[in-house]
Structure 1
Amino acid sequence: MSHDARLASLKIELPQPAAPAANYVPYVVSGNLVFVAGQITIWNGEVRYIGRVGDTLSLEDGVAAARLCGLNIIAQVRAACGGSLDRVKRCVKLGGFVNCTPDFTNQPQVINGASDLMVEVFGEAGKHARFAVGANVLPRGVAVEVDAIFEIA
């Protein structure tokens, strides 16, 4: 099954690719790699999941926030591939930042929200290397930010 067909069969809706908020581009294609800039918890212009995991937001909220970041990543990759995810060969790496309290230590579980989505959409090609770290603050006060590298045909 193609990646686009899998996305449709899973009934996963993607947001519109977010415009950059500063002096950068949302993705760069270099050779057969797509480098996706950090994606935050925005759904079609609406900022969601504002707060700190372990304080005003639960672990479950953090996982949902990471999944939303993952949806934004996929939307950017689709744009980078001219509107078709079928050029994606694999998700190579994700980097995840969690706005959390100093005593919160479940950053890997939070970022699983994005990681699980990649495997759900891309199957074996969605398995990737990654990091997941805590941060004392993220842009616009959001709970999670995730960036990515994809290999494309």
Structure 2
Amino acid sequence: MKKLLLSSVLSLGLLTPFLSSADDTTPEQRIKAAGFTLPAPVKPIANYVTWRRSGNTLYLSGHGACEGKSVLGKLGSNLNIEQGYDAAQLVGLCALATIKYATGDLSNVK
């Protein structure tokens, strides 16, 4: 099976430690070892989709935090650095959950 290329999220370098590794552990095992659990992926409410696959490229769209844990505000105005970090972490985990839903297994992502 071909590996999927997730360029837009991985270009930020934020998710690379979870998805690529030289050892035999799966991305899900590395996420769990880091103390995280993937939430249920967001289901679109209106006329949009959260992911679309074109060939071996997966595009993500419309992401915030999953499970109703959205954080609203502006960093430096009404959110401090720690709150901003936590909010970004929630969005990253939600994006990973969507990727897993779309591909069936995070090991399919390059």
Q: With structure 2 as the length reference, what TM-score do the two structures score?
A: 0.69
Report deviation, 1:41: 2.6
* Counterpart position of 1:56: 78
* Counterpart position of 1:71: 93
8 Å contact kept, 2:65–2:91: yes
8 Å contact kept, 2:39–2:94: yes
Residue 25 of structure 1 pairs with residue 49 of structure 2: yes
* Counterpart position of 2:61: 37
1:8-30 CA distance string (max 9 Å, x none): 32231011101124311110011
Instruction: Give 3-state SS (helix, strand or coil) of 1:73's partner.
Output: helix
Change (3 A) 1:55 1:15: same
Residue 88 of structure 1 pairs with residue 109 of structure 2: yes
Cα RMSD between the aligned structures?
1.5
Instruction: Give 3-state SS (helix, strand or coil) of 1:28's partner.
Output: strand
Alignment partners' CA distance in 1, 2:59 and 2:70: 24
8 Å contact kept, 2:52–2:59: yes
How many residues were matched structurally? Answer: 86
The one-letter code of the counterpart of 1:48 is: S
Report deviation, 1:5: 2.2
Alignment partners' CA distance in 2, 1:70 and 1:6: 15
Instruction: Give 3-state SS (helix, strand or coil) of 1:39's partner.
Output: coil
Alignment partners' CA distance in 2, 1:64 and 1:9: 18
8 Å contact kept, 2:41–2:97: yes
* Counterpart position of 1:11: 35
8 Å contact kept, 2:63–2:95: yes
Query: What percentage of aligned pairs have identical amino acids?
Result: 34
Report deviation, 1:2: 2.0
Alignment partners' CA distance in 1, 2:28 and 2:77: 37
Q: With structure 1 as the length reference, what TM-score do the two structures score?
A: 0.51
Gaps of 5+ in 2: 1-24
The one-letter code of the counterpart of 1:64 is: D
Gaps of 5+ in 1: 90-153
1:86-145 CA distance string (max 9 Å, x none): 1111xxxxxxxxxxxxxxxxxxxxxxxxxxxxxxxxxxxxxxxxxxxxxxxxxxxxxxxx
